[in-house]
Structure 1
């Protein structure tokens, strides 16, 4: 290919702005990966609990710290986002909300619902 080729070049990510549906699709895949890693963490928690008081104490210390709480908060958001977006996809599977405007609106609704459910869960956990 030469530089005087009249065909247009594809825009790269620094030029092309991804639509919200594309960003949410990437986030859905990312939260799926985060849930897999969270499952490994949950298995580690169960193993530490079954391994005795010393093992559980170190796991509890880690999860009670700032970084552990941040991981659990992220896992909570990933769980709610992945579930809400899964419901959105179920509606798409039956042919509802596939037009661009409804897809955009439902994407924003999924984000809002995920944030609200995450914050509500942590608020209730803090009270209890």
Structure 2
């Protein structure tokens, strides 16, 4: 007779300390984090719009915050977050069609997600500063 399952040694579920992080795993985790961060960034955009609609003084305060070095870092991060999450969504859309699921192709697409999000962020900020005459 076999031992009952209560006394038998059961296998442990693997966890992050067992797996070596891969680019697809990392980009999946970052995609989830950027999705959460977009909530915070969208609150900042809403604050700016509400300030613009309420009074000139409130709008000046919001512009002063976003125009400071710290505010620009936050806006740069929000821009990258937005593009990275968008590129991650496109990556998942490609996978939903059944394409790009091979290990090497999935890794290349994950790297492309990271590179494209950085390039698009830098291009948008260059265009923004060029439009302002800086």
Q: Please, which of 18, 22, 27 is the counterpart of residue 24 of structure 1?
A: 27
Question: Could you list the per-position Cα deviations for residues 61-80 of structure 1 after superposition, in whole angstroms to 9, with x for gaps in the alignment?
Answer: 00000111011101111111
9-18 or 60-69, larger mean C-alpha shift = 9-18
Structure 1 stretches lacking a partner, 5+ long: 1-5
Structure 1 or 2, whichever has the larger Rg, is 2
**Whole-Å separation in 2 of the counterparts to 1:12 and 1:26:** 14
Q: Helix, strand or coil: the match of 2:89?
A: helix
Spell out the pairing of 1:1-128 with structure 2 (5 A cutoff): 13=16, 16-128=19-131
Give the number of equivalent residue pairs.
124
Structure 2 stretches lacking a partner, 5+ long: 1-8
Q: TM-score, normalised by structure 2?
A: 0.84
**What's the counterpart of residue 5 of structure 2?**
none
Q: TM-score, normalised by structure 1?
A: 0.87
**What's the counterpart of residue 3 of structure 1?**
none
C-alpha displacement of 1:18: 1.2
